[in-house]
Structure 1
Amino acid sequence: MSHQKLHIASCYALLLCYTLLSLSHCVDGRSKAPIINLKHFIGCAVREFTFMAKKPGCGGLHITTDACWGRCETWEKPVLDPPFIESYQRVCTYNETRFVTVQLPNCTSDIDPSYTYPVAIRCDCGVCLTSNTECITSV
C-alpha cells in the first residue's frame, strides 16, 4: 500500500474518531454527553487513565492522566514469496505528548522524589514505535 493511501486511511480513521467523540444527542431538550460503545469502538482516542506511580524508596501516588486507548484496523495480504504474507499491523499510539513531573511522598533522603510521566495530547493508529510503546514483534 502506498504512503498516500496509508495517509488517507489514517485521516479517515481520525475523522471517524472525531465524529464518534463529538456526537451528542438531546433528550427532553437537554444535551447529553456522547454515548460510545467501547466494546465495538474501532479507532484510537485519548482516554482518562489512573495508575499508581511508584519508585523504590518512596510512597506511591495515584495519578490520573490522559493516555492513548483503542483498537486499530489491521490486515494481512497473501504474497507469492516467503513469508507468504504481508502484514499491516497498526496500534493505537502516542503522536503528541507533554510530560508532567510530580513529587512522590515519603521518599527516603537519598532518593529524588521526582516522577515524570507522559500525558497524551493526540493519539493515532500507526506503526508500533518501541520508543514509546511495548511492541510484540513475534509470537
Structure 2
Amino acid sequence: MKPALFIALLLVFTLTVGKSMSLCIPVEYVIHVEKRECAYCLAINTTICEGFCMTWDSNGKKLLPRSALSQEVCTYKDIVYRTVLIPGCQHHAASYYSYPIAVSCKCGKCNTDYSDCVQEASSAGYCAIPQKRRSP
C-alpha cells in the first residue's frame, strides 16, 4: 500500500472514530435560585449538557477565516423550559423562575442565544438563605 493512501485511510478512520467517541449527554445538575425579596432559596434539580467533543486545531490559523477556527463544544440540541414559584416572596417581587432542561445534547458551536459559553463555572453553587428543594 502506498504511504499516501495509508495516511488518507488513517485520517478518515481517525475522524470517523473520533466523532463516534464524542460523549456529550444530559447530566443532572442543581440550580440554586434566591432573591432578596423571598424567604427561601430554591434548589432545582435539572439536566444540562456536559461531555467531550472531538475537535482539532489547525496549524494554518493565519490562513483560515475566523469562522473556520471555532471548536465544537457539548451544547443543547433539544431544550424544554419549566417555571416554578419561589416560596415566601413579598407581594411586589417577581416570584416565578424559568429554567432550562436539556432533553438531548450535541457537539456543535456554542450559541450564546441560549447557552453560557464561558469556560469557568460560576461560584453560586449554594444557598445563603434557607433552602427548599424542587425536582423537575
TM-score, normalized by the shorter chain, greater than 0.5? yes
- Structure 1 residues without counterparts, runs of 5 or longer: 17-41
> Is 1:78 the equivalent of 2:77?
no
Match for residue 33 of structure 2? 53
Give the counterpart of 2:97 among 115, 126, 130.
115
- Alpha-carbon distance in 1 for matches of 2:110, 2:65: 22
- Greater CA radius of gyration, 1 or 2? 2
- Percent sequence identity over matched residues? 30
- Alpha-carbon distance in 1 for matches of 2:61, 2:50: 35
Runs of 4 or more above 3 Å deviation: 80-86
Q: What RMSD, in angstroms, separates the aligned Cα atoms of the two structures?
A: 2.9
Match for residue 62 of structure 1? 43
* TM-score normalised by L of structure 1: 0.61
Measured at CA, do residues 119 and 84 of structure 1 come closer, stay the same or move farther in structure 2, by a change above 3 Å? closer
Task: Determine which structure has the larger strand proportion and give its number.
Answer: 1
Contact residue 75 and residue 88 of structure 1 kept, 8 A = no
Distance apart, 1:135 and its partner CA: 2.5
- Structure 2 residues without counterparts, runs of 5 or longer: 1-11, 120-136
Greater RCO (Cα-Cα under 8 Å, separation 6 or more) = 2
* TM-score normalised by L of structure 2: 0.63
